[in-house]
Amino acid sequence: MKYIRSALHIVALPLILLFIWFISTLGEPNFFIPTPQQLVETFINTWTADRFLGDVFPSLGRLIVGIALSIVVGIVGGLLIGSFRWLRALLEPTLEFFRAIPPTVLIPVLMLLVGVGDDMKVSVIVLGAVWPILLNTIEGVRSMDEVLADTSRTYGMNRVNTVRYLILPSAMPQIMAGIRQSLSIALILMVISEMFASTEGLGFAIVQFQRSFAIPEMWSGIALLGFIGVLMSFIFQLAERWILGWYHGLREIEQSA
C-alpha cells in the first residue's frame, strides 16, 4: 500500500495536467499548441536514432562534463575557502562580484576568447552551475561542530584525515543540496549555450524548429528536455541515498525517537 500511494503521488499531477491539456485542445485546432496525440506522434518521428546521435548525445556529453567540472571545482574550492578564514575574507568580495554576473551575458565574451566549440559551451555551464556547490560547500565547512574540530586537533589528526573523516562528511548534506540546485542550472545553460553559433545540440535543434515554424517539433524538443530533467532528478536521488545513507538513517532514528 505504501508503494502504491507513493506511485500515485508521482503520477497524479502529470495525469491531471495531461487531462487539462487534452480538454483544452479539443475543438478548433491551434497552430501553436499541438494536441497530446499530435505531440506523441511528432516526438516518435522526430527524435530518431540519427537525431539522438547528432543532437541529443553531444548535448548530454557537454552537460555531464560541465556538471562534473562544477562539482570538482565547487567542492575543492569550497573546502579550501571554508577551511581558512583569511582566504574566505580575501576572496568573498570577488566571489560575490562574479556570482552576480549572469553566465549567459558572458557567452559573447567566451565566444571571442575560446571560440564557438564545445569549450565555450562547457565553460558557460561551469560558470553558472559551480556557484551553488561552491557556496554550499563553504557554508557546510563553516558550520562544522567546533567540538569535533578541537577533538581532531587534540588527537593529532593530520589535514588529509581531518578533511576525509570530519570536514567532508559534515559538509556533505549541504554539498548535495548545492549539487541538486546546480543540475537544473546546468541543463538550462546547456540549452542556452547551444543557441549561439552552434550547428548541433538540443538548443540548436529547438531554435531551428522555431525558426522554420515546425511548432510540434519544437514542443517535442521541449518535452525531451523535461524528460532529461526528470531522469537527472531520479539519478541524483539514488546517488544521494547512497552517499548520504548514514545521514538519512540518523534522521529517521531521530524522528522515531
**Separation between Cα atoms, residue 9 and residue 3, nearest integer Å:** 10
pLDDT of residue 71: 97
The answer to whether residue 125 is domain-embedded is yes
Query: Would you state the pLDDT for residue 22?
Result: 86
12 lies in a domain? no
Sequence-ordered list of residues with C-beta below 8 angstroms from that of 159, at least 6 positions apart, any chain: none
* pLDDT per residue rounded down to tens, the chain (257 residues): 666 776 676 778 888 888 888 888 887 788 888 999 999 999 999 999 999 999 999 999 999 999 999 999 999 999 999 888 899 889 988 998 998 999 989 888 998 888 888 999 999 999 999 999 999 999 998 887 777 767 777 777 777 778 888 888 889 999 999 999 999 999 999 999 998 878 899 999 999 999 999 999 999 999 999 999 999 999 999 999 898 887 777 676 766 65
Q: Note whether residue 81 is domain-resident.
A: yes
Q: Is residue 77 part of a domain?
A: yes
Q: Give the per-residue pLDDT at 3.
A: 62
Query: 3-class SS at 213?
Result: coil
CATH at residue 98: 1.10.3720.10
What is the structure's pLDDT at 129?
96
Task: Work out how many domains the chain is built from and give that number.
Answer: 1
- Separation between Cα atoms, residue 235 and residue 223, nearest integer Å: 19
Range of the domain at 86: 45-256
Is residue 29 in some structural domain?
no
